[in-house]
Amino acid sequence: MSPGTIEIDHKQKINGNLYYALMKGNKNRVTELCQKIQDHALHVITVNDDTVLHMATLLPYIYTIRILNINYRRLSYHRLLV
């Protein structure tokens, strides 16, 4: 494995960990990971060049969708029982 490949793999692992922590709403983990990288919250984590900060601003929207989806599933299940 070439040194360039190892560097890419390490970057992908960091990006994956950051993305996962953001999607789970684990603010402490996101903060911890951002402190370990040079760009901190301006680190690019998606193929669309979204930074950690960009993704964090979308979180309230993502959580709202999740809540609505969960409530919709509960309502649909309740209707099946009635």
Query: Which tens digit of pLDDT belongs to each residue from 18-60?
Result: 999 988 888 889 889 988 888 888 899 988 898 888 888 887 7
Question: Is the full-model pTM beyond 0.75?
Answer: no
- The span from the CA of 73 to the CA of 19, in Å, is 26
d(CA 81, CA 35): 50
Q: What local confidence, expressed as pLDDT, does residue 5 receive?
A: 62
Looking at residue 1, its pLDDT comes to 54
Enter the tokens of residue 23.
């999607």
Q: How do the domains of the chain map onto residue ranges? A: 3-81
Please state the separation of Cα 63 from the chain's center in Å.
11
